[in-house]
Amino acid sequence: MSQSLEGKKVAFLVASEGVEQVELTEPWDALTSKHAVPSIVSTESGTVQAFNHLDKADVFDVDAVVESASSSDYDALVLPGGVANPDFLRMNPEAVAFARSFFDEGKPVAVICHGPWTLVEAGVVEGRTLTSWPSLRTDIVNAGGTWVDEEVVVCTAGPNTMVSSRNPDDLPAFCATLTEVLAKG
């Protein structure tokens, strides 16, 4: 029997442009299908511009601006990738602090593709095992993490559970694992 995530609030932290659309929409759909309440938290109000690799895709409404958002209002965090998205996020001190606060509070975090750049900047990968787009390997290792080339990795070292995947091909496993982790609480 499928477990409901009724009422679980999940923040999707994205920059105003550059998020990989499928890495936003597929986890979002997986969560809403289990009755969770996803929310886009961004660096600017209005809308965010998603991309299909390097081509503009759809725009999505922003639910909260990172400067006024609080991790205490959410049960978990999702960091989608895209090359530009996490690069913009890691240069925004409020976005980095918002991501770090989920670790401080021991809440689940799910990250895919280039998304770990934000976590490297937040200083939360040391002692953790995770995966990502292969070009982030050196950054993760230099930040004290262990990088592995696996479809999905669940790391429970540290104060919270972290789910990571490499790329859009891993989304089915990423989404299933994300919903399982949230269902466990």
Nearest Cα to Cα of residue 113 among 137, 96, 138, 146: 137
Active site residue 175: no
Distance CA 167, CA 79 (A): 12
Q: Are 14 and 85 in contact (CB under 8 A)?
A: yes
- Rg over CA atoms, the chain: 14
Of 35, 53, 113, 155, the catalytic one is 113
Of 35, 53, 114, 175, the catalytic one is 114
For residue 37, count other CB atoms closer than 10 A to its CB: 15
| DSSP letter for each residue of 12-69 | EEE-SEEEEHHHHHHHHHHHHHTT-EEEEEESSSSEEEEEETTEEEEEEE-SEEGGG-
CA-to-CA separations, 141 to 41, 148, 175, in angstroms, rounded? 28, 10, 25
Active site residue 113: yes
Active site residue ranges = 113-114
